[in-house]
Amino acid sequence: MSRESASITLAAPAKINLSLRILGKRPDGFHELETLMVPIKLADQIEISAVPGHGVSLVCNDPDLPTGPENLCVKAVEAFREETGIPHGVAISLMKRIPHGAGLGGGSSDAAAVLKGMNEIFDRPLVAEELQQLAASLGSDVPFFLHDGAAWCRGRGEILEDAAALPGRTLLLIKPPFPVPTAWAYKRYAEMKASEAGMPTQKSQWLGDLEITNDLEAPVFGKYLLLPVMKEWLCQQPGVESAFMTGSGSTMVAVMKTGTSSTSIAAIEGEIRAEFGDTIWISVTGWE
Protein backbone atom coordinates (compact mmCIF):
# COMPACT_ATOMS: atom_id res chain seq x y z
CA MET A 1 0.00 0.00 0.00
CA SER A 2 1.39 3.38 -0.93
CA ARG A 3 1.60 6.02 1.77
CA GLU A 4 -0.76 8.24 -0.24
CA SER A 5 -3.55 5.65 -0.01
CA ALA A 6 -2.92 4.45 3.56
CA SER A 7 -5.90 4.75 5.90
CA ILE A 8 -7.15 3.27 9.16
CA THR A 9 -10.51 3.24 10.91
CA LEU A 10 -10.64 3.16 14.71
CA ALA A 11 -13.29 3.19 17.42
CA ALA A 12 -12.88 5.94 20.02
CA PRO A 13 -14.75 4.81 23.16
CA ALA A 14 -16.37 7.05 25.73
CA LYS A 15 -15.51 6.73 29.43
CA ILE A 16 -17.20 7.13 32.75
CA ASN A 17 -15.62 8.00 36.11
CA LEU A 18 -16.75 5.52 38.78
CA SER A 19 -14.70 7.44 41.33
CA LEU A 20 -13.32 10.98 41.07
CA ARG A 21 -11.50 12.52 44.00
CA ILE A 22 -9.70 15.86 43.94
CA LEU A 23 -6.67 15.72 46.24
CA GLY A 24 -5.46 19.32 45.95
CA LYS A 25 -4.05 21.96 43.64
CA ARG A 26 -0.76 21.36 41.82
CA PRO A 27 1.99 23.95 41.27
CA ASP A 28 1.24 23.83 37.53
CA GLY A 29 -2.33 25.03 38.16
CA PHE A 30 -3.98 21.66 37.51
CA HIS A 31 -5.74 19.66 40.21
CA GLU A 32 -4.21 16.50 41.70
CA LEU A 33 -6.67 13.71 40.92
CA GLU A 34 -7.38 10.11 41.78
CA THR A 35 -10.04 8.75 39.46
CA LEU A 36 -11.20 5.36 38.25
CA MET A 37 -11.90 5.71 34.54
CA VAL A 38 -13.69 2.97 32.65
CA PRO A 39 -14.07 2.72 28.86
CA ILE A 40 -17.60 1.93 27.71
CA LYS A 41 -19.10 0.49 24.54
CA LEU A 42 -20.46 3.82 23.29
CA ALA A 43 -17.85 5.03 20.78
CA ASP A 44 -17.12 7.50 18.01
CA GLN A 45 -15.68 6.18 14.74
CA ILE A 46 -12.67 7.82 13.15
CA GLU A 47 -11.15 7.22 9.72
CA ILE A 48 -7.64 8.64 9.28
CA SER A 49 -6.08 8.80 5.82
CA ALA A 50 -2.72 9.90 4.50
CA VAL A 51 -3.31 12.25 1.56
CA PRO A 52 -1.01 14.11 -0.87
CA GLY A 53 0.37 17.45 0.25
CA HIS A 54 0.76 18.83 3.74
CA GLY A 55 -2.77 19.92 4.68
CA VAL A 56 -4.94 18.65 7.54
CA SER A 57 -8.70 18.32 7.04
CA LEU A 58 -11.48 17.15 9.34
CA VAL A 59 -15.07 16.40 8.41
CA CYS A 60 -17.67 15.48 11.02
CA ASN A 61 -21.33 14.45 11.06
CA ASP A 62 -21.98 16.87 13.96
CA PRO A 63 -22.39 20.38 12.51
CA ASP A 64 -21.92 21.95 15.95
CA LEU A 65 -18.41 20.58 16.38
CA PRO A 66 -15.58 22.91 15.29
CA THR A 67 -13.38 21.30 12.63
CA GLY A 68 -10.55 23.84 12.54
CA PRO A 69 -7.24 24.14 14.44
CA GLU A 70 -9.07 24.27 17.79
CA ASN A 71 -10.35 20.70 17.41
CA LEU A 72 -8.39 18.16 19.46
CA CYS A 73 -8.16 15.77 16.50
CA VAL A 74 -6.40 18.45 14.45
CA LYS A 75 -4.19 19.33 17.42
CA ALA A 76 -3.25 15.65 17.72
CA VAL A 77 -2.20 15.54 14.06
CA GLU A 78 -0.09 18.67 14.42
CA ALA A 79 1.53 17.41 17.65
CA PHE A 80 2.36 14.08 16.01
CA ARG A 81 3.82 15.74 12.92
CA GLU A 82 5.92 18.12 15.02
CA GLU A 83 7.21 15.29 17.20
CA THR A 84 8.09 12.98 14.30
CA GLY A 85 9.02 15.48 11.61
CA ILE A 86 6.56 13.81 9.24
CA PRO A 87 4.81 16.64 7.34
CA HIS A 88 2.45 14.39 5.35
CA GLY A 89 -1.08 15.50 4.55
CA VAL A 90 -3.86 13.95 6.66
CA ALA A 91 -7.63 13.72 6.21
CA ILE A 92 -9.90 12.71 9.10
CA SER A 93 -13.55 11.66 8.95
CA LEU A 94 -15.21 11.68 12.36
CA MET A 95 -18.54 9.98 13.09
CA LYS A 96 -19.65 11.43 16.44
CA ARG A 97 -21.85 9.31 18.67
CA ILE A 98 -20.54 10.63 21.99
CA PRO A 99 -22.13 14.00 22.88
CA HIS A 100 -19.70 16.79 23.71
CA GLY A 101 -19.75 18.74 26.96
CA ALA A 102 -21.01 15.56 28.57
CA GLY A 103 -18.19 14.36 30.86
CA LEU A 104 -17.77 11.27 28.67
CA GLY A 105 -14.32 12.14 27.29
CA GLY A 106 -15.31 12.10 23.62
CA GLY A 107 -12.85 14.76 22.46
CA SER A 108 -9.98 13.22 24.40
CA SER A 109 -10.78 9.75 23.05
CA ASP A 110 -10.89 11.08 19.49
CA ALA A 111 -7.47 12.70 19.95
CA ALA A 112 -5.99 9.47 21.32
CA ALA A 113 -7.41 7.52 18.38
CA VAL A 114 -5.79 9.99 15.98
CA LEU A 115 -2.41 9.51 17.68
CA LYS A 116 -2.74 5.72 17.49
CA GLY A 117 -3.90 5.84 13.88
CA MET A 118 -1.16 8.21 12.77
CA ASN A 119 1.45 6.02 14.44
CA GLU A 120 0.18 2.98 12.55
CA ILE A 121 -0.11 4.69 9.16
CA PHE A 122 3.42 6.10 9.37
CA ASP A 123 5.09 2.84 10.46
CA ARG A 124 5.21 3.39 14.22
CA PRO A 125 7.87 6.09 14.60
CA LEU A 126 6.87 6.58 18.27
CA VAL A 127 7.09 3.99 21.06
CA ALA A 128 4.34 3.72 23.68
CA GLU A 129 6.04 6.04 26.17
CA GLU A 130 6.46 8.76 23.54
CA LEU A 131 2.80 8.47 22.55
CA GLN A 132 1.81 8.79 26.22
CA GLN A 133 3.86 11.97 26.59
CA LEU A 134 2.32 13.40 23.44
CA ALA A 135 -1.15 12.48 24.70
CA ALA A 136 -0.52 14.20 28.05
CA SER A 137 0.47 17.39 26.23
CA LEU A 138 -2.96 17.44 24.55
CA GLY A 139 -5.14 16.99 27.65
CA SER A 140 -5.41 15.30 31.03
CA ASP A 141 -7.75 12.52 29.86
CA VAL A 142 -6.01 11.71 26.57
CA PRO A 143 -3.38 9.28 27.99
CA PHE A 144 -6.15 7.10 29.45
CA PHE A 145 -7.54 6.40 25.98
CA LEU A 146 -4.20 4.96 24.84
CA HIS A 147 -4.62 2.40 27.63
CA ASP A 148 -6.64 -0.80 27.33
CA GLY A 149 -9.33 -1.25 29.97
CA ALA A 150 -10.23 0.45 33.23
CA ALA A 151 -7.49 2.32 35.06
CA TRP A 152 -6.86 4.37 38.16
CA CYS A 153 -5.57 7.70 36.88
CA ARG A 154 -3.53 9.95 39.15
CA GLY A 155 -1.51 13.14 38.91
CA ARG A 156 -3.55 15.28 36.55
CA GLY A 157 -4.71 12.06 34.90
CA GLU A 158 -1.52 10.96 33.14
CA ILE A 159 -0.28 8.38 35.71
CA LEU A 160 -2.15 5.14 35.01
CA GLU A 161 -2.50 1.91 36.97
CA ASP A 162 -4.55 -1.07 35.83
CA ALA A 163 -7.80 -1.47 37.75
CA ALA A 164 -9.32 -4.71 38.98
CA ALA A 165 -12.03 -6.32 36.84
CA LEU A 166 -15.48 -4.84 37.34
CA PRO A 167 -18.68 -6.83 37.79
CA GLY A 168 -20.82 -6.79 34.66
CA ARG A 169 -23.54 -4.16 34.57
CA THR A 170 -25.79 -2.43 32.07
CA LEU A 171 -25.49 1.36 32.14
CA LEU A 172 -28.02 4.00 31.26
CA LEU A 173 -26.47 7.33 30.22
CA ILE A 174 -28.73 10.38 30.49
CA LYS A 175 -27.57 13.80 29.27
CA PRO A 176 -29.71 16.93 29.56
CA PRO A 177 -29.63 19.42 26.65
CA PHE A 178 -26.83 21.52 28.14
CA PRO A 179 -23.07 21.05 28.70
CA VAL A 180 -21.09 21.80 31.85
CA PRO A 181 -17.78 23.65 31.28
CA THR A 182 -15.03 21.55 32.87
CA ALA A 183 -12.82 24.51 33.85
CA TRP A 184 -15.78 26.19 35.57
CA ALA A 185 -16.60 23.00 37.54
CA TYR A 186 -13.07 22.74 38.94
CA LYS A 187 -12.97 26.47 39.74
CA ARG A 188 -16.29 26.25 41.58
CA TYR A 189 -15.05 23.21 43.49
CA ALA A 190 -11.99 25.16 44.67
CA GLU A 191 -14.20 28.08 45.76
CA MET A 192 -16.51 25.80 47.75
CA LYS A 193 -13.59 23.93 49.30
CA ALA A 194 -12.10 27.22 50.52
CA SER A 195 -15.38 28.57 51.88
CA GLU A 196 -16.48 28.33 55.50
CA ALA A 197 -19.31 25.98 54.60
CA GLY A 198 -16.95 23.56 52.85
CA MET A 199 -18.16 20.60 50.82
CA PRO A 200 -21.42 18.80 51.63
CA THR A 201 -21.22 15.08 52.25
CA GLN A 202 -22.51 12.61 49.68
CA LYS A 203 -24.71 9.63 50.37
CA SER A 204 -22.58 6.50 49.93
CA GLN A 205 -23.11 4.29 46.89
CA TRP A 206 -21.18 1.14 46.12
CA LEU A 207 -20.33 -1.21 43.28
CA GLY A 208 -19.14 -4.30 45.14
CA ASP A 209 -16.24 -3.08 47.29
CA LEU A 210 -15.82 0.15 45.29
CA GLU A 211 -17.33 3.34 46.66
CA ILE A 212 -18.81 5.42 43.85
CA THR A 213 -18.02 9.08 44.41
CA ASN A 214 -17.52 12.30 42.45
CA ASP A 215 -16.13 15.41 44.15
CA LEU A 216 -17.45 17.58 41.30
CA GLU A 217 -21.09 16.71 41.94
CA ALA A 218 -21.59 19.27 44.72
CA PRO A 219 -20.29 22.33 42.81
CA VAL A 220 -22.05 21.33 39.58
CA PHE A 221 -25.34 20.42 41.32
CA GLY A 222 -25.35 23.84 43.03
CA LYS A 223 -25.81 25.59 39.66
CA TYR A 224 -27.38 22.97 37.39
CA LEU A 225 -30.36 22.15 39.57
CA LEU A 226 -31.87 19.60 37.21
CA LEU A 227 -28.99 17.20 37.85
CA PRO A 228 -29.54 16.51 41.58
CA VAL A 229 -33.27 16.16 40.88
CA MET A 230 -32.47 13.63 38.16
CA LYS A 231 -30.06 11.73 40.42
CA GLU A 232 -32.63 11.46 43.20
CA TRP A 233 -35.32 10.36 40.74
CA LEU A 234 -33.04 7.69 39.22
CA CYS A 235 -32.09 6.32 42.65
CA GLN A 236 -35.78 5.79 43.40
CA GLN A 237 -36.38 3.61 40.33
CA PRO A 238 -36.64 -0.11 41.18
CA GLY A 239 -34.21 -1.26 38.46
CA VAL A 240 -31.44 1.23 39.37
CA GLU A 241 -28.61 0.15 41.67
CA SER A 242 -26.85 3.54 41.81
CA ALA A 243 -26.84 6.88 39.99
CA PHE A 244 -24.15 9.54 39.72
CA MET A 245 -22.68 12.26 37.52
CA THR A 246 -19.64 11.29 35.45
CA GLY A 247 -16.66 13.63 35.17
CA SER A 248 -17.70 17.28 35.25
CA GLY A 249 -21.10 16.41 33.76
CA SER A 250 -23.62 16.93 32.48
CA THR A 251 -24.19 13.19 31.88
CA MET A 252 -25.80 11.17 34.65
CA VAL A 253 -25.09 7.44 34.84
CA ALA A 254 -27.59 4.91 36.15
CA VAL A 255 -26.06 1.53 36.99
CA MET A 256 -28.77 -1.07 36.51
CA LYS A 257 -29.30 -3.90 38.95
CA THR A 258 -28.16 -7.33 37.79
CA GLY A 259 -30.94 -9.12 35.98
CA THR A 260 -32.88 -6.00 35.00
CA SER A 261 -34.57 -6.89 31.71
CA SER A 262 -34.26 -4.90 28.50
CA THR A 263 -38.03 -4.34 28.70
CA SER A 264 -37.66 -2.75 32.13
CA ILE A 265 -34.78 -0.57 30.92
CA ALA A 266 -36.85 0.56 27.92
CA ALA A 267 -39.67 1.44 30.33
CA ILE A 268 -37.29 3.57 32.43
CA GLU A 269 -36.16 5.34 29.25
CA GLY A 270 -39.77 6.24 28.51
CA GLU A 271 -40.32 7.44 32.07
CA ILE A 272 -37.19 9.63 31.88
CA ARG A 273 -38.52 11.35 28.77
CA ALA A 274 -41.94 11.77 30.36
CA GLU A 275 -40.39 13.24 33.52
CA PHE A 276 -37.61 15.39 32.06
CA GLY A 277 -38.60 16.05 28.43
CA ASP A 278 -37.86 14.77 24.93
CA THR A 279 -34.65 16.79 24.58
CA ILE A 280 -32.87 14.38 26.96
CA TRP A 281 -30.21 12.22 25.26
CA ILE A 282 -30.22 8.60 26.45
CA SER A 283 -27.94 5.68 25.63
CA VAL A 284 -27.96 2.10 26.92
CA THR A 285 -24.43 0.73 27.13
CA GLY A 286 -21.97 -1.10 29.37
CA TRP A 287 -18.27 -1.16 30.04
CA GLU A 288 -15.90 -3.07 27.82
CATH number at residue 125: 3.30.230.10
Are 145 and 195 contained in the same domain? no
Asked if pLDDT for residue 28 goes beyond 90, the answer is no
Residue where one domain finishes, among candidates 162, 178, 211: 162
Among 162, 182, 204, give the residue marking a domain's end.
162
**Residue 4: predicted pLDDT:** 55
pLDDT in tens, 240-286: 999 999 999 999 999 999 999 999 999 999 999 999 999 999 999 99
Percent of the chain with pLDDT over 90: 87
Q: Do 141 and 181 sit in the same domain of this protein?
A: no
Where is pLDDT greater, at 26 or 65? 65
Burial label for 276, CB within 10 Å (0-12, 13-18, 19+), is: middle
Q: What pLDDT, on the 0 to 100 scale, is given for residue 226?
A: 97
Residue 220 pLDDT greater than 90, yes or no: yes
Q: Are residues 195 and 144 in the same domain?
A: no
Active-site annotation holder among 44, 110, 141, 215: 141
Same domain, 153 and 181: no
CA distance 163 to 180: 27
Task: Looking at the structure, tell me whether residues 130 and 203 fall in a common domain.
Answer: no
Q: Is 15 assigned a catalytic role?
A: yes
Confidence class for position 202, pLDDT limits 50, 70, 90: confident
Domain of residue 34: give its range: 3-162
* Strand segments (E) across 26-175: 31-51, 56-60, 89-95, 151-155, 159-162, 170-175
**Do both 16 and 157 map to the same domain?**
yes
d(CA 66, CA 123): 29
Question: How large is the average pLDDT for residues 11-32?
Answer: 87
Question: Are 136 and 63 members of one domain?
Answer: yes
Q: What is the mean pLDDT of residues 212-222?
A: 96
pLDDT at position 23, please? Answer: 87
Look up residue 70 and give its DSSP letter. Answer: T
Mean pLDDT across 194-212? 87
Q: Which DSSP state fits 19?
A: E
Express each pLDDT in 170-198 by its tens digit.
Answer: 999 999 999 999 999 999 998 998 887 77
Q: What is the CATH number of the domain that holds 211?
A: 3.30.70.890
**Mean pLDDT to the nearest integer, 115-120:** 97
Q: Are residues 270 and 246 in the same domain?
A: yes
Residue 150, classified by CB atoms within 10 Å of its CB into exposed (0-12), middle (13-18) or buried (19+), is buried
Helix (H) or strand (E) holding 109: helix 106-121
Same domain, 131 and 181: no
Average pLDDT over residues 115-139: 96
Q: What pLDDT sits at residue 201?
A: 82
Predicted confidence at residue 3, as pLDDT, reads: 56
Closest CA to 241 of 193, 199, 279, 206: 206
pTM score: 0.94
Domain check: are 178 and 39 in the same one?
A: no
Please count the structural domains in the chain: 2
On whether both 25 and 145 belong to a single domain, the answer is yes
Residues 185 and 267 in one domain: yes
Q: Which of 15, 96, 116, 231 is catalytic?
A: 15
Kindly tell me if the per-residue pLDDT of 82 is higher than 80: yes
Q: Which of 162, 183, 214 is the last residue of a domain?
A: 162
More confident position, 24 or 164: 164
| Catalytic site includes residue 175 | no
Confidence of residue 13 (pLDDT cuts 50, 70, 90): very high
pLDDT at 2 (0 to 100)? 42
Report the chain's mean pLDDT, rounded to a whole number. Answer: 93
Distances (CA, A) of 206 to 139, 201, 213, 219, 227: 29, 15, 9, 21, 20
SS3 31: strand
**Burial class of residue 234 (count of CB atoms within 10 Å of its CB; 0-12, 13-18, 19+):** buried
Structural contact between residues 281 and 175, judged by C-beta atoms closer than 8 angstroms: yes
